[in-house]
Amino acid sequence: MDNVKQIKHLYARAGFGLRFEDRASAGNLSVKQAVASLFNSSENNEPITSVQGNTDYAMLVKGDKGAKKQFLQQQRQEEKELNEAWMNRMSTTDAVLREKMTLFWHNHFACRTKDSLFAQQLNNIQRSHALGNFRDLLLEVSKSPAMLQFLNNQQNHKGRPNENFARELMELFTIGRGNYTEQDVKESARAFTGWGFSKTGEFIMRPFLHDAWQKTFMGKTGNLTGEDIINRLLEQKQTARFISTKLYKYLVNETPNLAHVTAMANVFYHNNYEIKPLLDYVFTSPWFYDEQNIGNLVKAPVEFLVGLNRQFYITYQRPEVQLQIQKALGQVLFYPPNVAGWPCGRNWIDSSSLMFRLKIPSTLLNGGLIDFNGKADPEEEAYIATIRNQQQFVNAKVQTQPDWPRYLKNIPKNASKTDIAQFMLEPKLSNTLINNINSATDIKAMVVELVSTPEYQLA
Amino acid sequence: MDRRNFLKNTALASGAFLIPSFLKPLEAMAMGSISGYKNLVIIQLSGGNDGLNTIIPYGNDIYYQKRKTIAINKPDIIKLNEMQGLNPNLSALKDIYDQGWMSIINSVGYPNPDRSHFRSMDIWQTGSEANQFLTTGWIGRYLDSNCQSCKNPYTAVEVDDTLSLAMKGEKMKGIAVQDPNKLYQTTREPFFKDLVHDHGDTNLNEDNLGYLYKTMIETYSSANYIQKTSKTYNVTCEYPLTGLGNQLKTVSKFINSGLQTRVYYVSLSGFDTHVGQQNQQGRQLKIYGDAVAAFMYDLKQSGKLDDTLVMTFSEFGRRVEQNASNGTDHGTANNILLFGGKLKKAGIYNDAPDLAQLDNGDLKYAVDFRDVYATLLDKWLDVNNSQVLGKGFKGLDVI
């Protein structure tokens, strides 16, 4: 039983939660075996290919009113489909660790672009290197049209440097604030002059725009190139510390433990920024399973939604429903608020977002009805009656299809209500909750209650 | 008493969370002190409103040279002085201006302006530098500042379904209420009520689970308080039947019913006028002007005008020169409009924008937007602006 607790915690953090279905196969593994199996299932590195053609941008400039309108429509459609494709990938894939880390890099290298092809390209870079080498990842991200465009490196020319990319590279992507000087920003911006992209979305180095003169960056002098700057940044151990801290907050605890983070940084640095050994170290460290690290991370809206989709095998007749939920909860994929990414943790929760989050599971699973069997005040009877009447209507509106039979079939035969509840929620059960579920009429009603709790917001 | 005990002793231990006892001291306040309660209403115009076609520098020939097809004809402009006048769609504001209830601050912006909608809106909402990323909003940090009236989420109310970054602080966040009755209804879910009512004290720890339960409890008592309080007042004045009209009507209901709220936030979008600007912006400005005018008359009638200050901003202005599609592209500095019964300097606060000395075709800012915020924080919300804006700003002599 104890091992299930650990495996469940591992899946909550390295993936999007453990399903009853996975419990049968993973529940009896040792932690080491389970981690190995997570890496195994994530070997598969399949790119997302929802955006096909190259949108003809010439139409936006040359086209008439009708052509422009059509262009904008197509652009929006591609955006929607890309969002949907990634949501579906996360909700159905076996490569959960890869997707979970892609989501991490998506937020670390936060970027917005109106060109969905560029967005998809960057997403696939983050996916293919999600568990690979950080240097390769950083270099490819830096050379991606999406990022070059977003951070204005296309306009970074010899004699007229644009410092946007150089600054964010240090502040947000590698060593963090306070570890570089304004002079470092200026000199490195010169090193990146000429980095740009072609119309077809390929990186190009434009020598005639590149400043090939001598630069001094972090104590190194020479005719430095962009690659030299990136290498110099990776030589600083601070980069390993910076990334480790951020990863610790994502996978372990919002409050970094200095000893643990230092140990992670050592592993990362000595393995030449290979991501896999770092993750392996975290997931197999005893401290990862300490009580204070369990059930205390606020799920990001996308993690929350994907977790529900996976646990209940939800399919959507109207894909825009998932987009609406992302909007209401404040996290639309491919639309981070700025280059610093989404502020996580408690920032996800305010009065309105919390009420949405408590209400969304019952809306997707049961037409908005939480079948509560406790005592109701007379004034609540009217409310209950209304909700019951609306159930069909809500169902018709959201058109989601959870696979209840599949979910129920996988629950172990001898599991008590409390066992089921403890499996579904990461934090410890409170007495109120135990009382509530014990009075629930059936398993389905109880499960809808469980996912409509503050506890369910935590991983 | 710290915040946690405060909640425990009131909402939970008493079991009567529906009528939180922490409201009682406020209820007991004499009416006199409540009438001194000042409100700030923020109206956000999203998309980048073209300030030059809102408050029009008709006295400057450059305006007509740069805007051959989208300039407003001189005879149609509602003149305010020799240099500037109102867009004709803002005709409802003429009387408001003449009453001395309106103040125009020209050329408000910040150094190294960003022309991206979402980034510049971020900067305005957080009050950051152009190269700084803050995760809290300026009103949110005002809530965090421990000011005397900052104890509850409803100290800052956004009339919307979701909460803007501007309203989110580190410890405290405002509350989004589009419709008080609807919010109240969602909190009537018997299962949720049971969780709020019966859950043990252990869940109110400082950890994230405690934070979630605290937020839930605060939402419950706030929803109840807002619903119960606001339904005691009926707005009788006429408001235009527009989204913004309805939002301001709701704000009026909140203010007049004596809700203990200091900041209200509403927004109107549709100002990104790259194409066919005149019609599109005209429609939005009419919605804006008519709604604001109705709001001002309503407050005058109920005696709340002197206690209310309205500020309108947009994430950026637009370029001085029009584009080829009879529209304008993203620009920089813009005007801020203030309304209220107690303006120290009503009318036009500073010089009209300089159309001759441009920065790459864009207006140069003359007033930092954080000096406007500082003025509101220091003189209206009674908190030292450096507590909210990081470094201190001098402020303006306008209210």
Nearest to A436 among B163, B194, B211 (CB): B194
Mean pLDDT across A98-122: 96
Tell me which residue of B261, B290, B272, B230 sits closest to B88, measured CA to CA. B290
Are the Cβ atoms of A352 and B185 closer than 8 angstroms?
no
Confidence (pLDDT) at A67:
84
Split at pLDDT 50, 70, 90, the class of B16 is: very low
Confidence (pLDDT) at A55:
64
- Among chain A residues, the shortest Cα distance to B215 is held by A351
- Among chain B residues, the shortest Cα distance to A64 is held by B325
Mean pLDDT across A131-159: 96
* Whole-number Å distance between alpha carbons of A119 and A53: 13
Are the Cβ atoms of A328 and B162 closer than 8 angstroms?
yes
Nearest to A359 among B175, B186, B203 (CB): B186
* Whole-number Å distance between alpha carbons of A15 and A427: 17
Six token digits for residue A48: 């997302």
- Could you identify the residue written with the tokens 């950890």? B207
* Whole-number Å distance between alpha carbons of B153 and A424: 31
Six token digits for residue B127: 């009050």
Cα distance from B199 to chain A (closest Cα, Å)?
5
Give the tens place of pLDDT for each residue, B341-378: 999 999 999 999 999 999 989 999 999 999 999 999 99
* Whole-number Å distance between alpha carbons of A91 and A403: 13
Question: Which residues lie across from A99 on neighbouring strands?
Answer: none
Confidence (pLDDT) at B36:
55
Mean pLDDT across B301-330: 95
The angle subtended at Cα A33 by Cα A27 and Cα A34, nearest 5°, is 50
Confidence (pLDDT) at B28:
37
CB < 8 Å to A431, chain B:
200
Split at pLDDT 50, 70, 90, the class of A69 is: confident
CB < 8 Å to B165, chain A:
337
B330 touches chain A (CB under 8 A): no
A67 touches chain B (CB under 8 A): no
Mean pLDDT across B76-101: 98
A385 touches chain B (CB under 8 A): no
B199 touches chain A (CB under 8 A): yes
User: Is the pLDDT at B18 greater than 50, yes or no?
Assistant: no
Are the Cβ atoms of B173 and A431 closer than 8 angstroms?
no
Tell me which residue of A422, A443, A454 sits closest to A18, measured CA to CA. A422
Angstrom CA distances, A247 to A236, A252, B278, B372, stand at 18, 8, 50, 39
Three-state SS at B18: coil
**Residue A339 burial (CB count, 10 A):** 21
Domain B39-389 architecture: 3-Layer(aba) Sandwich (3.40)
Burial of A219 (0-12, 13-18, 19+ CB in 10 A): exposed
Residues 6+ apart with CB under 8 A from B217: B7, B11, B12, B17, B196
Of A321-325, B27-31, B302-306, where does mean pLDDT reach its minimum?
Answer: B27-31
Mean pLDDT across A414-436: 92
Q: Look up the ipTM and state it.
A: 0.93
> What is the amino acid identity at position A86?
W
User: Is the pLDDT at B224 greater than 60, yes or no?
Assistant: yes
**Helix A351-366 to helix A301-312 angle, to the nearest 10 degrees?**
20
Split at pLDDT 50, 70, 90, the class of B203 is: low
What's the pTM?
A: 0.87
Confidence (pLDDT) at A56:
67
Of A381-395, B123-137, B181-195, give the range with the top mean pLDDT.
B123-137
**Domain boundaries in chain B?**
39-389
B209-226: b or e for each residue (b if 16 or more CB lie within 10 Å)? bbbbbbbbbbbbbbbbbb
Mean pLDDT across B19-24: 34
Confidence (pLDDT) at B311:
98
A441 touches chain B (CB under 8 A): no
Confidence (pLDDT) at A393:
86
Of A348-357, A425-434, B83-92, give the range with the top mean pLDDT.
B83-92
Split at pLDDT 50, 70, 90, the class of B206 is: confident
Cα distance from A37 to chain B (closest Cα, Å)?
30
CB < 8 Å to B174, chain A:
350
Taking a C-beta distance cutoff of 8 angstroms, is the pair A191, A173 a contact?
A: no
Nearest to B203 among A350, A430, A449 (CB): A430
Split at pLDDT 50, 70, 90, the class of A318 is: very high
Mean pLDDT across A136-153: 96
Split at pLDDT 50, 70, 90, the class of A1 is: very low
CB < 8 Å to B194, chain A:
372, 374, 432, 436
A345 touches chain B (CB under 8 A): yes
* Whole-number Å distance between alpha carbons of A310 and A305: 9
Give the tens place of pLDDT for each residue, A253-291: 999 999 999 999 999 999 999 999 999 999 999 999 999
Question: Which residues lie across from B102 on neighbouring strands?
Answer: B339
Cα distance from A193 to chain B (closest Cα, Å)?
20
Cα distance from A44 to chain B (closest Cα, Å)?
35
B119 touches chain A (CB under 8 A): yes
Nearest to B216 among A327, A380, A454 (CB): A454
Mean pLDDT across A144-155: 94
A458 touches chain B (CB under 8 A): yes
Average pLDDT, whole number, for chain A? 93
User: Is the pLDDT at B125 greater than 50, yes or no?
Assistant: yes
Confidence (pLDDT) at B366:
98
Six token digits for residue B244: 């913004």
The angle subtended at Cα B36 by Cα B35 and Cα B40, nearest 5°, is 100
A340 touches chain B (CB under 8 A): yes
